[in-house]
Each structure stands twice: as C-alpha cells, then as structure tokens.
C-alpha cells in the first residue's frame, strides 16, 4: 500500500520531467530551491494551471506539499548518488538548487509521448507562473495559494 503522490518513484519521475521541461540541465540553468517541487507535483499531474483549482483543492495541495518536502529531500540524495541530478547549496538564499544531468538519464525515459500529459501541464503551469525556475518559494506560494485565499504559513 502506498499513496501515489507520496511515492518516491512518482516524485522522482515528476522531478526529472520538470527539470527537463524547464531546461534545468546545467548548473548555469539550475532550478532554484528544490522545495518548490513539492508545491508543483499536483499541478504537473492534475491540470497544470492553478487558476483551474478551487480554494479547497488548493488548500489540500498546499498541505500535502509540506509532507512532500521531506520526501523530496531524501529523494534528492538518492538521485544525486545515482548521478541523475546535480545539486548545489545556494549560500545567498540558503537553498538547495538542482539540475538534471540529462546524459545520465536513459533517453527512453524522457520520451515526450509517454509523459505528454505531464509536459502539457508543465507548459500550462509555466504560463500561469512566470520564471518558475528562479522564482522564490515565497513568491510561488503567494502567487498560487495566498492570492487565491488559501491560508499559508511560513514556507
């Protein structure tokens, strides 16, 4: 028994797909603050555009993201040890940034037909939240949740 959206495999493929779709494939184009992924997973799989979710749905996504942050931290260690991602500590913002080591990921895994729904949702998400790769977690949280009347706490 497992909860799909809290499963390491589910989180791993969503993280890899997100990094690839956002072009985060080198340290120069890294995804700033891995914790943002916890908030994005549900949108990647369930519709992309946050404006299409009601307040109750957004509240659930926000709450579940708090659990996913810890899981993602463990997952990053695994993906880094398997050499699928690069990781750096951003001493300015006190965050952990990451990028996909695309040559290390099997080419068949990044098949755009298999993950077409997720990729389409990422494109919708990118349109709704500009600068997704570099936006701060606070700005992301405010834009998606607080601006839609979801009570948030310190991220």
pLDDT of residue 120: 92
Q: What angle do CA 68, 114, 26 make, to 5 degrees?
A: 60
Q: What are phi and psi of 118, to 5 degrees?
A: -60, -40
pLDDT of residue 1: 39
Q: How far, in Å, are 18, 35, 48, 137 from residue 144 at the CA level? A: 17, 15, 11, 11
pLDDT of residue 155: 57
pLDDT of residue 88: 94
pLDDT of residue 154: 65
Q: 112, 17 in Cβ contact below 8 A?
A: no
Residues β-bridged to residue 35:
none
pLDDT of residue 142: 87
Parts of the chain with a pLDDT under 50: 1-2
């Amino acid at each position: 028994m497992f909860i799909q959206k809290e499963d390491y495999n589910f989180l791993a493929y969503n993280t890899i797909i997100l990094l690839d779709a956002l072009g985060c494939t080198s340290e120069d184009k890294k995804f700033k603050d891995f914790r943002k992924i916890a908030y994005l997973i549900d949108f990647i799989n369930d519709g992309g555009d946050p404006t299409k979710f009601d307040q109750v749905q957004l509240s659930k996504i926000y709450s579940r993201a708090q659990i996913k942050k810890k899981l993602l931290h463990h997952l990053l260690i695994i993906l880094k040890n398997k050499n699928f991602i690069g990781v750096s500590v951003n001493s300015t913002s006190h965050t952990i940034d990451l990028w996909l080591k695309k040559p290390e990921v099997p080419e068949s895994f990044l098949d755009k037909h298999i993950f077409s729904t997720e990729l389409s949702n990422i494109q919708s998400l990118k349109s709704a939240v500009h600068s997704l790769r570099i936006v701060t977690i606070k700005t992301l949280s405010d834009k998606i949740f607080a601006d839609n009347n979801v009570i948030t706490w310190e991220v």
